Amino acid sequence: MIHDAESGAGVSFVSRQLSAAFYRRGNRRHALLVVFAAATVIAVGCTGAGGDGTNAVASPGQDPTAVVSVGVVLTPIGDVPAFEVVTPDDGVFNLERLEGRPVLLNFWFPSCPPCRVELPDLQAAYEAHGDDIQFLGVQLLGLDSAEDAAEFLAELGITYPSGPDAESKMVRSFKIVGFPTTVFIDSDQNIVKKHTGILDAETLESLISATVALGGQTVSSGS
Q: Are 177 and 1 in contact (CB under 8 A)?
A: yes
- Over 90: is that where the pLDDT of 210 sits? yes
Cα 164 to Cα 19, 24, 88: the distances in Å are 19, 26, 10
pLDDT in tens, 98-154: 999 999 999 999 999 999 999 999 999 999 999 999 999 999 999 899 999 999 999
pLDDT band at 1; cut points 50, 70, 90 = very low
pLDDT at 168 over 90: yes
pLDDT at 42 over 90: no
Q: Which of 38-42, 91-95, 202-206 has the lowest mean pLDDT?
A: 38-42
Average pLDDT over residues 9-29: 40
Mean per-residue pLDDT for 192-213? 96
Amino acid type, 164 = P
pLDDT value at residue 7: 38
Write down the mean pLDDT value for the chain: 75
Q: Is the peptide bond before 64 cis (omega within 30 degrees of 0)?
A: no
Question: What is the distance between the alpha carbons of residues 46 and 44, in angstroms, rounded to a whole number?
Answer: 6
pLDDT for 61-72, tens place per residue? Answer: 333 333 333 457
Between 171 and 21, whose confidence is greater? Answer: 171
Sheet strand arrangement including 103-108: 78-79, 190-196, 181-185, 103-108, 134-140, 162-165
Q: In the prediction, which pLDDT does 64 show?
A: 38
This prediction's pTM? 0.70
* 106 contacts 138 by C-beta, under 8 angstroms: yes
Task: Provide the residue type at 96 as one letter.
Answer: E
**Other CB atoms closer than 10 Å to residue 24's CB: what's the count?**
9
Q: Which tops the pLDDT comparison, 7 or 181?
A: 181
Q: Which residues have CB under 8 Å from 54's CB, separation 6+?
A: 68, 70, 194, 195, 196, 197
Domains, the chain, in order of start with CATH, read 9-215 (3.40.30.10)
Is the model more confident about 27 or about 72? Answer: 72
Q: What is the mean pLDDT of residues 22-30?
A: 40
pLDDT per residue as tens digits for the range 74-95: 888 999 999 999 999 999 999 9
